[in-house]
Amino acid sequence: MIRGSRSIQIIGAGHNGLVCAAYLARAGHQVTVFEASSQVGGAAITREFAPGFKVSAAAHLVYMLDPGIEKELDLASHGLEYARTGLQTISLSEAGDHVRFNGDDVDGVSEGDREAMREYRRKMQHFAGIIGGLHNRVPARLGTTDRPDLLELARLAFNIRRLGKNDMREFLRIAGINIYDVLQELFENDALKGALGLDGTLGTMLGTRSNNSVFCALHRYSNGGRYQLPKGGMGTVSNALANAARAFGAEIHTARPVNRILMDFDRATGVELQSGEQIEADLVVSGADPKTTFLKLLGAQNLEAGFAHKISNIRTRGNVAKLHLALGSVPDFTGLDPALSAERLVIAPSLQYVEQAFNHAKYGEHSRRPVMEISIPTLDDPGLAPAGKHVLSANVQWAPRELKGGWSAAHEAFTESVMNTLERFAPGICSQVMHRELLTPQDIESEFRIEGGHWHHAELALDQSMMMRPVPGTAQYKTPVDGLWICGAGCHPGGGVMGSAGRNAARAIIERSGT
């Protein structure tokens, strides 16, 4: 054992838990991961949903994964491959007047909108850089006079100041309004505005007119906003991370749910598995969401009352449903060149449409005409389905976790709304369906063990970000309980398949342990 090496248990082999495991094992620690599910990856997995048809069961497009992690862990040599990179976004229109964009390039809009897109992208990339620049840093603690915390806060202020007078003013202005107003000021084309508006809301309980929708869009663009399709589905990313972690010496056990975190007075000393087995360790790191970690696995009785109260108040209401279709043939979207069906397709034909889809969620209802982000991965990755057959995977909003009347009563009606919406854009699609699966946030909660079924484990909003994520007092990955750390999407810098929370947590632990 190398000097300073410790035994570390990680709860959950979600991609962040795996990244954390890989970095800790690489630093010489003895790492053991306990995952409840029978496969690694958490919400980043590939699984069969109908005989012979496989799909990325939650996350389906890579656009946030930190390239530094891919390189440092050499994920390519551990099996990570992309079926395609640089997917375009196509904002579908019922009439076939689709808008296509990728970076600054936009097709199907006026010259004025093309120019506006260049300006919008310049501005958003510039501002997203401020957020992205913080992804790989441990947030400052608030209210201390310690030098590292003050320096970290100064760095944030300096980065904003460095935008220059005009952009700084603009950054502060748009951060305080909403994506609807920002887009209305700049663009004419409805389908373009709808798709960009969706980027400010996807994965959250936000409409385009909600505060934080600009922040959400900036978060989405903060790692470059380039859409990639992993070969073999999202499980390939997680499997490559698991392979990397194992190559550094980590042990990963699947189908071993943790029942509780063991405590000796005020210190975490290991875990008890559901089998009853108790295993001790120097440190415990949880990749589960914050409510699961603190309220279920640790228990509020082991926390100071004010802290437990803050954890129970984290907003974790999931709103995204996931649709999987096994198709006999490729759907025919009205007016869309079939070669473009492999791109990122979105149903968000106008800002009004997106906002109306959201309105229902405010009152605990599901959308009647939902918005969607669609991928047909089999067009680039035929191995996911039997020969000649296809898979359609769609993130569908809004489907509130806490639905009025409950999901068992509404599941079928919502699935029908989703299918009717698809049929309007791709007439005949319903007759091509061989099998369908729709996961509501309630299903996502139980399949992936994410409290609330939330995309980001905790709502992505300024008041739940950086030094306040998940709550002040544990935003530096170390929790108020000695020996217990957290590393999942509920930590800074949040969700999406990015891996930064896992790596930041590992770095913070390594710094403390001196290895």
The span from the CA of 17 to the CA of 138, in Å, is 17
Asked whether 412 and 406 are in contact (CB, 8 A), the reply is: no
Nearest residue (beta carbon) to ligand FAD: 14
What is the nearest approach in angstroms of ligand FAD to the Cβ of residue 12?
2
Q: Which of 26, 78, 135, 322 binds ligand FAD (CB under 6 A)?
A: 322
Please identify, using beta-carbon distances, which residue of 123 and 226 lies nearer to ligand FAD. Answer: 226
Residues 311/317/320/326 CA torsion (nearest 10 deg)? 80
User: One-letter amino acid identity for 132?
Assistant: G
**Interaction of residue 12 with ligand FAD, rule CB under 6 A:** yes
**Interaction of residue 497 with ligand FAD, rule CB under 6 A:** yes
Which of 152, 64, 145, 172 has its CA nearest to residue 475?
152
Q: Which of 28, 194, 287, 452 binds ligand FAD (CB under 6 A)?
A: 287
The span from the CA of 287 to the CA of 490, in Å, is 9
User: One-letter amino acid identity for 95?
Assistant: A
Asked whether 457 and 290 are in contact (CB, 8 A), the reply is: yes
Q: How many residues bind ligand FAD (CB under 6 A)?
A: 40
Please identify, using beta-carbon distances, which residue of 28 and 502 lies nearer to ligand FAD. Answer: 502
Single out the segment in contact with ligand FAD by CB under 6 A; choices: 81-89, 134-142, 409-417, 495-503: 495-503
x/- mask, ligand FAD, residues 451-490, rule CB under 6 A, reads: ----xx-------------------------------xx-
The span from the CA of 114 to the CA of 112, in Å, is 5
Single out the segment in contact with ligand FAD by CB under 6 A; choices: 277-285, 345-353, 463-471, 492-500: 492-500
What is the nearest approach in angstroms of ligand FAD to the Cβ of residue 87?
11
x/- mask, ligand FAD, residues 293-312, rule CB under 6 A, reads: ----x---------------
Q: Which of 21, 27, 61, 124 binds ligand FAD (CB under 6 A)?
A: 61
Please identify, using beta-carbon distances, which residue of 43 and 384 lies nearer to ligand FAD. Answer: 43
Q: Could you give the angle at the alpha carbon of 238 between the alpha carbons of 233 and 240, nearest 5°?
A: 100
Which of 485, 471, 472 has its CA nearest to residue 268?
485
Residues 6+ apart with CB under 8 A from 26: 248
Q: Which of 132, 290, 452, 495 binds ligand FAD (CB under 6 A)?
A: 495
Token output for 501:
């929370």
**Interaction of residue 69 with ligand FAD, rule CB under 6 A:** no
What is the nearest approach in angstroms of ligand FAD to the Cβ of residue 119?
27
**Interaction of residue 320 with ligand FAD, rule CB under 6 A:** yes
Binding residues for ligand FAD restricted to 84-123, rule: CB under 6 A: none
Angle between helices 111-132 and 165-176 (to 10 degrees): 90
Please identify, using beta-carbon distances, which residue of 60 and 507 lies nearer to ligand FAD. Answer: 60
**Interaction of residue 245 with ligand FAD, rule CB under 6 A:** no
Single out the segment in contact with ligand FAD by CB under 6 A; choices: 5-13, 91-99, 246-254, 405-413: 5-13
x/- mask, ligand FAD, residues 335-364, rule CB under 6 A, reads: ------------------------------
**Interaction of residue 192 with ligand FAD, rule CB under 6 A:** no
**Interaction of residue 28 with ligand FAD, rule CB under 6 A:** no
3-state DSSP assignment of residue 135: coil
**Interaction of residue 288 with ligand FAD, rule CB under 6 A:** yes
What is the nearest approach in angstroms of ligand FAD to the Cβ of residue 37?
5
Round to the nearest angstrom and report the end-to-end CA distance of the chain. Answer: 12
Asked whether 487 and 480 are in contact (CB, 8 A), the reply is: no
3-state DSSP assignment of residue 204: coil
Task: Detail the DSSP E strand segments found in 35-189.
Answer: 46-50, 53-56, 82-87, 89-91, 99-102, 105-107
**Interaction of residue 220 with ligand FAD, rule CB under 6 A:** no
Binding residues for ligand FAD restricted to 378-417, rule: CB under 6 A: 395
Please identify, using beta-carbon distances, which residue of 322 and 411 lies nearer to ligand FAD. Answer: 322
Binding residues for ligand FAD restricted to 129-148, rule: CB under 6 A: none
3-state percent helix, strand, coil for the chain, nearest multiple of 5: 40, 20, 40
Beta sheet of 30-34, edge-to-edge order: 251-253, 30-34, 7-11, 283-286, 484-486
Neighbours of 26 (CB within 10 A): 20
**Interaction of residue 496 with ligand FAD, rule CB under 6 A:** yes
Q: Which of 108, 257, 382, 427 binds ligand FAD (CB under 6 A)?
A: 257
Please identify, using beta-carbon distances, which residue of 42 and 194 lies nearer to ligand FAD. Answer: 42
Q: Could you give the angle at the alpha carbon of 304 between the alpha carbons of 300 and 306, nearest 5°?
A: 95
According to DSSP, residue 159 is labeled: H
Asked whether 482 and 283 are in contact (CB, 8 A), the reply is: no
Residues 6+ apart with CB under 8 A from 339: none
Please identify, using beta-carbon distances, which residue of 189 and 479 lies nearer to ligand FAD. Answer: 479
- Write out the DSSP string of 297-337: IIIGGGS-HHHHHHHHTS-----EEEEEEEESS----TT--
**Interaction of residue 34 with ligand FAD, rule CB under 6 A:** yes
The span from the CA of 394 to the CA of 90, in Å, is 14
The span from the CA of 309 to the CA of 23, in Å, is 32
Q: Which of 8, 31, 43, 140 binds ligand FAD (CB under 6 A)?
A: 43
What is the nearest approach in angstroms of ligand FAD to the Cβ of residue 189?
25
According to DSSP, residue 139 is labeled: P
- What residues make contact with ligand FAD under the rule CB under 6 A? 11-17, 34-37, 42-44, 58-61, 63-64, 257-258, 287-288, 292, 297, 320, 322, 395, 444, 448-450, 455-456, 488-489, 495-497
